[in-house]
Amino acid sequence: MTDFNEFTHACRTIENTPGSLDMTGQVAQLLQDVTCDELPVVTHFIMGEVFPAWSAEDMGIGTSLLYTALSKTAGISIKKMESLVRDTGDIGMAATVALSNKPRGQATFSLFIEDTPPLSILDVFGRFKNISKVSGKGSQATKIKNLQYLFNSSSTEQAGYIARLAIEDLRIGVGEGIVRDAISKAFEVPISDVERAFMLTNDMGLVAVTARSGGSEEVTKLGIELRRPIRMMLAQVTPTIESAISEMETVAIEWKFDGARVQIHKDGDNITLFSRRLEDVTRSLPDIVSAVKENVKADSAILDGEAFAVDESGRPRAFQEILKRFRRKYDVELTAREIPLTLRLFDLVYLNGENLIDEPLTDRRAALVGCVENAGSIKVDEQVLTADIEEVNRIYNEALEAGHEGIMIKNPNSPYSPGKRGKNWLKKKPVMETLDLVVIGAEWGYGRRANYMGSYTLACHDPDTGRFLPLGKVGTGINDEQLAELTETFSKLIIIESGMTIELKPEVVFEIAFEEIQKSTNYESGFALRFPRLVNVRDDKSPDEADTLVRIGNIYSNQRK
């Protein structure tokens, strides 16, 4: 059993390491040093998560619950705890300081008993697992007790990392990219194999364990499993229809529906639906579940499609309406009647035990058409194969007239590339491209808006380090109703509040329109947005799906051309 101290020690070293190459080496060493049981846990921990992102397991620890547990353990008031977080600027450091100042009389139970074994990595995980299992009345108290146990059994430095892990914000700069490279280095498996296995399983812990026990041979065997989501294939923007056609020659054109992505797993009569964030949304969408049961003729299948809401005339309703359906946990049947969904299927990645991702799009579609019986609310979307620009323009205009976003231009010979935003799927929309950015901070408003958070700090994503780098603030495009709703959402994500300024847990993605990207020394990303405006709150996107620093840099350079 590995002591949790080993993990803490590795985190401290990594945190103080500037280069990502050295960081990869240190993570690789840690992965090699732990036991097989500990390996999946440590792989998730080091990325700042406790369970794989797709798993339904969730600890539900907000900052206020964490502050309560810490203040109880340290014997200080919650106000004092909050002020420590403000002063140190970090929950981990605040936990360490609070517990170091603990009066002698409150020394921990474990310190009185000399031979109490030190806290192990699996002890910490076990407590987190207990926390994820409790629900209903009394659950808050049980969560606090479990956290108190951990804080009481650990050194003050360990407690700092436990506090950060509890809210899944480890802040040591290790993201998916570094862990992927570290697994490759530690267990001598090519990076591309690790990457592909991760895209198919969505579980870096599983990939690490498999790499250690079976090397490249077993890692490449890791594949699709029903009821475990695979990463969705993504699209790139194409500047013009002409450039897309000249690159692919014959193109497959489909409408780009104005809705939300759904990945559908059919395992006999069991249907599971995943959102674009790979969250299980089955319970919120009973109409889609029954439409799939009735109209998909396959023993097992994984289908990809877009769900949208329509008004009486068949035109798509606002994106926020669709999200109401995806978010709904109670009265789902009632909401389903109020906001009926239409599903358009455009891909099939698995059929009756066979993985189709490496098959060309045309073959996957033929199989899709073969297993779906089109009905009113569920259909395979129409696709036209053509090399004729006029025809593509005609379809583009039709889609826009029908109220949808534009078109998708797909390479008919391409495989399904999970998690990839490559050149095989291009999107063409009329508006200036928007950016998806993560909200990492906010400011309290003034005057009439004094009780609301009025301005939000936006950041792009650096996939290698998992960090979010700021590039601007947005306060425009937000009406009063939205402001109240956003303030409520964000109040649960406050990490530190200092005067008017708030630091937020990176969780919510805003779709932002802007006039121009400029170089700037004001923001850590090195860029700033001119005239940013909120277009949508993208609840369907997770923070790591936000636009990357590389894309911001590309848009900047293209602007200048």
Residues acting as catalytic residues:
256
Could you tell me which residues are beta bridge partners of residue 260?
307
Q: Beta strands 378-380 and 341-351: pairing type?
A: parallel
Cα three-residue angle 56-275-299, rounded to 5 degrees: 85
Q: Which has the closest alpha carbon to 502: 447, 457, 449?
A: 457
User: DSSP characters for 153-208?
Assistant: HS-HHHHHHHHHHHTT---S---HHHHHHHHHHHHT--HHHHHHHHHHH--HHHHH
Residues near ligand AMP (CB under 6 A) are 234-235, 254-257, 261, 306, 346, 381, 408, 427
7: its two tokens: 């993990």
Three-state DSSP at 81 gives helix
Longest dimension (CA), the chain: 82
Contact of 295 with 377, CB cutoff 8 Å: no
Give the burial string for 163-181 (b: 16+ CB within 10 Å, else e).
bbbbbbbbebbbbbbbbbb
User: Rounded distance, CA 228 to CA 209, Å?
Assistant: 17
What distance in Å separates the CA atoms of residue 502 and residue 445, rounded to the nearest whole number? 11
The DSSP-derived string for 399-424 is HHHTT--EEEEE-TTPPP-TT-EEEE
Token pair, residue 383, equals 């696709």
SS (H, E, C) 267-301: ECCEEEEEECCCCECHHHCHHHHHHHHHHECCCEE
Nearer to ligand AMP among residue 206 and residue 248 (C-beta): 248
Antiparallel, parallel or unpaired: β 421-428 and 234-237 = parallel
